[in-house]
Amino acid sequence: MAGESSGLYAGWMPQCFHHHFRRHDPILHGVIRRVGPYRLKPSRDRFGMLVRSIISQQISVGAARAIRGRLEELVSKQGIKPALIAALSPEQLRSVGLSPQKTSYLHDLAAKVQSGDVRLTRLARWSDEEIIEELIQVKGIGRWTAQMFLIFALGRADVFPIDDFGVRAAITRLYGLDEPPGRDALAAVGERWSPFAAIASWYCWRYLELVRNQAPAAVGYPV
């Protein structure tokens, strides 16, 4: 897949989108028809998006949303900003339900954004890989978290989060596999989905909501 991709915004649904999946992955195209229009609205709050991604690591969606809500109450109307997160003590961050490890991650993120080591305001014209390299300087931000940022903050179209549990679970179920596919097989799926791999991943998350009888969320992944 290309190392650089354009952003996609809610309501952007060209005919080539349907044609691509109808031709290259009829099963995924069936999911698209079932789920409906692509409704992702990229978040303009880049710092807040990274905070939410760190919060959501390795815990349930419900738990992550609860922690996020308590953090928003703690900072009140001022919002989740680098200076405010940096000013909160470890004890204050722990009080909302964050682990000591995630507390250190948020402090490191805030410090690096404030110092300019991580330049969130300059990323829009960078390639996907350049952005990933910038973000993984932060403790607790790996490739998966950086890919979530590319999709949900920048609206990049051709990002395939190969390590995402939800995407792997959806692929396993959609294609009738006995067990989750290995990385080579997953990479082949990503190539088949390119240049719309991020959109296909979004439809995988929405598909899982449908089969679990959950209300679909336009921006609900990660929390």
Q: Convert the pLDDT of each residue in 95-148 to its tens digit.
A: 999 999 999 999 999 999 999 999 999 998 999 999 999 999 999 999 999 999
Helix (H, G, I), strand (E, B) or coil at 47: helix
Structure tokens at 23: 């031709």
Q: Each residue of 174-201: pLDDT tens digit? A: 999 999 999 999 999 999 999 999 999 9
The predicted pLDDT at position 48 comes to 94
User: What region does 11 belong to: left with phi over 0, alpha with psi -120 to 50, or beta?
Assistant: left
The predicted pLDDT at position 218 comes to 56
Rounded distance, CA 80 to CA 71, Å?
8
Rounded distance, CA 7 to CA 150, Å?
9
- Position 131, amino acid: I
* Proportion of the chain above pLDDT 70, given as a percent: 89
Task: Judge whether residue 157 has pLDDT over 50.
Answer: yes
Helix (H, G, I), strand (E, B) or coil at 155: coil
**Whether 45 is catalytic:** no
Question: 36 or 96: whose pLDDT is higher?
Answer: 96
- Residue 179's Cβ-count burial label (10 Å; 0-12, 13-18, 19+) is exposed
Q: Which residues pair with 7 in a beta bridge?
A: 156
How many CA atoms lie within 13 Å of 14's alpha carbon, on the beta-carbon side? 8
| ∠ CA 155-75-218, rounded to 5° | 30
Q: Which residues pair with 156 in a beta bridge?
A: 7
- DSSP code at position 122: G
Q: Each residue of 5-21: pLDDT tens digit? A: 555 444 444 457 888 99
Residue among 45, 108, 164, 178 flagged as catalytic: 164
- Domains in the chain: ranges and CATH: 15-41+158-211 (1.10.1670.40), 46-152 (1.10.340.30)
Please check whether residue 200 is in contact with residue 162, taking contact to mean a CB–CB distance below 8 angstroms.
Answer: no
* Proportion of the chain above pLDDT 90, given as a percent: 73
Rounded distance, CA 57 to CA 60, Å?
8
Rounded distance, CA 52 to CA 54, Å?
5
